Amino acid sequence: MMRAYARRGSGTVYWLLLPTPRRAAFQKVFGPVNRALRSAAKSFPGVVHTVDLGATFTPHGKFRQACAGRAAP
């Protein structure tokens, strides 16, 4: 998919990484998925960029229900 979105270098791709999930069972999957995405993005330097949503939504690897003082809907 990254290759298709990059359009032979004429496109710029921002791939969103998964934040830490609420359920521990998903944590076993999300880490390897994010590592695979980072690895794949390295094949397209300067074209595919990864955005770490975990740094914003689940800082320090901790899921939290509220963000910026507001409860999630």
pTM for this one?
Answer: 0.76
**Pairing of the two strands 70-71 and 66-67:** antiparallel
**Average pLDDT for 50-73:** 76
pLDDT band at 57, cuts 50/70/90?
A: confident
pLDDT at 58 over 80: yes
User: Distance between the two ends of the chain, CA-based, in angstroms?
Assistant: 32
Number of Cβ within a 10 Å radius of residue 5: 14
Please give the pLDDT value at position 38.
Answer: 97
pLDDT at 65 over 80: no
